[in-house]
C-alpha cells in the first residue's frame, strides 16, 4: 500500500525557469536566444523536422548567430551513439543546446549540454545525483506528447557493455527553457501518437500509485491522467486539432513533472527488456504491460487505483476494487481504440525469452522499489505471461 507514513516527506521540485505554451510558439525561440545573448547554438533534432525548422534556423542566422544542426540520433540512443555525437560537435563553441524532437533527442540534448564542458564520463554520471554541473544553457522543444523529458531530470541511454537501459538522473538535466508548441505534433503518425500518449499516461499513473507518492505530485499526476485519457483517442483519429493536441501535450508535460520527485515503477522496469532485447519502442513497451501490472498491483492499493479509474473517466463502483478494475478495462479499451498491439505476441516477442526478460527486469531496482506491491522474479514471469 501507499506509504502514508511517508506521504509528507521532504522533496525538492525543480521546474524549468520558463515554460512557453501555445500554437506556433516555436517561432518565439529565436527571440529567446537573441535576448539571452547566445552567439553559438547547437540544435539536436531529426531529419524529418528540418523543413519545419528552416524558418527558425534562418531567423537565428539573420541575427548573426552561429548554428550547428545535428540529426545523428535515429533510434533509442546508446552510450556509443552519444560518444560519437559529442565527438562530432566539440570543434565549435556552444553557448546553448536546443533539443527539438521526441524523448531520445531531448535526452541526448540534455546530456550534451551537461557533458560538452564536463570532465566526468558517462559512467561517472550514470545513476542518481552523480552529475556535478552544467554550465551550457539548455532549451527543450518536444515534438511528441509522450516522454515528458522536456521537464524531467532524467536521461536514458542503452549501455553497449550489457545492452541494458541506464538512467542518468540529475537536477542539472532540467532545461532552462521549455517551449510547448502543440502544432509540432499535428503530423505525428497515429501509432506514435498512441504509443507516446500511453507512455505519458503511464508516467502519471505510476507516480500516483507509487509506494512513495507525494500530495504535491499527486495533483500533477491526476490531472495528467485526466487530460490524456480524455484526448488521446481523439488525437490518434483526428491528428491536427489544436483543441485536442494542446491538452495532450500539457498532460505529457505534467507526467514529466512526476519523474523527478516520485518517478515510475513496475511498468517501466518490466518494459526495459522489451526495448533492449526486441527494440520495441519505449511507449509501446509500456502500453503492452500497463494493464497487467495494474491488475497485479490493485490488491496492494485499491483506493489509489480507484482514483486512477475516476481520472480515466470511469464511474465509481460499489467498492474501490470494483472501481479499480474498471480502470484496467478502460486502459485496455484505450489501447484497442488507438489501434496499436495489445499483446506481447502481437509485438514480436518470443515467449521463450520471458525468463530472460524477467531476470533483466529484476536489475531495475531503482524503479522496482517504487512499486506499490513487490515484484519478484516469479511475479515478473507471471505478468509477462499474462501480457502475452
CB 305 within 8 A of CB 297: yes
DSSP single-letter state for residue 168: E
Our CA dihedral for 203, 208, 210, 211, rounded to 10 degrees, sits at: 170
| 193: Cα separation from own chain's centroid | 13
pLDDT given for residue 254 in this prediction: 96
Q: What is the DSSP string of 141-159?
A: EESSSS--TTT-SEEEEEE
Q: Torsion-angle region of residue 315: left (phi > 0), alpha (psi -120 to 50) or beta?
A: beta
- Can you give the pLDDT at residue 45? 96
What's the mean pLDDT in 358-379?
96
For 78, which DSSP code?
B
What is the pLDDT averaged over residues 208-225? 96
User: Do residues 65 and 92 make contact, with C-beta atoms less than 8 angstroms apart?
Assistant: no
The chain-wide mean pLDDT, for the chain, equals 93
What DSSP designation does 8 have?
A: T
- Look-up of cell digits 481520472: 311
The answer on pLDDT for 90 being more than 90 is: no
At 45, give phi and psi (nearest 5°): -155, -165
> For position 382, what pLDDT does the model report?
98
Cell digits of residue 136: 551550457
Give the span between the Cα atoms of 108 and 173, in whole angstroms: 10
Based on the number of CB atoms within 10 Å of its own CB, is 215 exposed (0-12), middle (13-18) or buried (19 or more)?
A: exposed
- Predicted confidence at residue 76, as pLDDT, reads 84
What's the alpha-carbon Rg for the chain, to the nearest Å? 20
Q: Domains, the chain, ranges and CATH?
A: 18-185 (3.40.50.1970), 188-387 (1.20.1090.10)
**Residue 92: band (very low, low, confident or very high) from pLDDT cuts 50, 70, 90:** confident
Cβ within 8 Å of residue 275, ≥6 positions away: 76, 158, 165, 281, 282, 285
Residue 6 confidence (pLDDT): 62
| 244-296: pLDDT as tens digits | 999 999 999 999 999 888 999 999 999 999 988 998 988 999 999 999 999 99
The confidence score (pLDDT) of residue 146 equals 81
* Helical (H) or strand (E) element with 41: strand 40-44
Kindly give, in sequence order, each residue whose CB lies less than 8 Å from that of residue 358, ignoring residues fewer than 6 positions away: 377, 380, 381, 384
pLDDT tens-digit readout, 3-37: 555 667 888 888 999 999 998 899 899 999 999 99
101: left (phi over 0), alpha (psi -120 to 50) or beta: left
pLDDT at 374 over 60: yes
Q: How far apart are CA 149 and CA 175, in angstroms?
A: 9
**pLDDT tens column, 308-340:** 999 999 999 999 999 999 999 999 999 999 999
pLDDT of res. 91:
80
Amino acid at each position: 500500500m501507499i506509504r502514508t507514513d511517508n506521504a509528507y516527506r521532504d522533496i525538492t521540485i525543480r521546474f524549468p525557469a520558463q515554460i512557453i505554451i501555445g500554437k506556433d510558439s516555436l517561432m518565439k525561440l529565436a527571440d529567446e536566444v537573441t535576448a539571452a545573448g547566445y552567439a553559438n547554438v547547437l540544435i539536436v533534432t531529426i531529419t524529418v523536422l528540418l523543413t519545419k525548422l528552416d524558418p527558425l534556423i534562418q531567423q537565428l542566422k539573420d541575427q548573426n548567430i552561429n548554428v550547428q544542426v545535428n540529426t545523428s540520433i535515429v533510434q533509442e540512443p546508446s552510450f556509443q551513439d552519444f560518444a560519437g555525437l559529442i565527438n562530432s560537435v566539440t570543434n565549435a563553441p556552444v553557448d546553448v543546446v536546443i533539443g527539438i524532437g521526441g524523448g531520445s533527442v531531448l535526452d541526448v540534448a540534455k546530456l550534451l549540454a551537461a557533458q560538452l564542458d564536463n570532465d566526468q564520463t558517462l559512467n561517472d554520471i550514470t545513476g542518481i545525483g552523480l552529475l556535478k554541473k552544467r554550465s551550457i544553457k539548455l532549451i527543450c522543444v518536444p515534438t511528441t506528447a509522450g516522454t515528458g523529458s522536456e521537464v524531467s531530470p532524467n536521461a536514458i541511454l542503452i549501455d553497449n557493455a550489457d545492452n541494458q537501459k541506464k538512467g542518468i538522473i540529475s537536477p542539472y538535466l532540467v532545461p532552462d527553457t521549455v517551449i510547448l508548441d502543440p502544432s509540432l505534433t499535428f503530423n505525428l503518425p497515429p501509432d506514435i501518437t498512441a504509443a507516446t500518449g500511453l507512455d505519458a499516461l503511464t508516467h502519471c499513473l505510476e507516480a500516483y500509485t507509487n509506494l512513495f507518492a507525494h500530495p504535491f505530485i499527486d495533483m500533477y499526476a491526476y490531472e495528467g491522467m485526466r487530460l490524456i485519457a480524455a484526448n488521446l483517442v481523439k488525437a490518434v483519429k483526428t491528428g491536427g486539432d489544436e483543441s485536442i493536441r494542446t491538452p495532450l501535450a500539457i498532460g505529457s508535460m505534467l507526467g514529466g513533472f512526476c519523474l523527478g520527485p516520485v518517478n515510475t515503477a513496475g511498468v517501466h522496469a518490466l518494459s526495459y527488456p522489451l526495448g533492449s532485447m526486441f527494440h520495441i519502442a519505449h511507449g509501446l513497451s509500456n502500453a503492452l504491460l500497463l494493464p497487467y501490472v495494474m491488475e497485479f498491483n490493485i490488491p496492494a492499493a485499491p483506493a489509489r487505483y480507484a482514483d486512477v479509474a475516476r481520472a480515466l473517466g470511469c464511474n465509481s463502483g460499489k467498492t474501490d476494487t470494483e472501481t479499480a478494475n474498471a480502470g484496467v478495462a478502460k486502459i485496455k479499451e484505450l489501447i484497442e481504440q488507438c489501434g496499436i498491439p495489445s499483446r506481447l505476441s502481437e509485438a514480436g516477442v518470443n515467449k521463450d525469452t520471458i525468463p530472460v526478460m524477467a531476470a533483466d527486469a529484476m536489475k531495475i531496482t531503482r524503479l522496482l522499489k517504487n512499486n506499490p506491491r513487490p515484484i519478484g522474479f516469479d511475479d515478473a514471469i507471471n505478468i509477462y505471461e499474462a501480457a502475452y
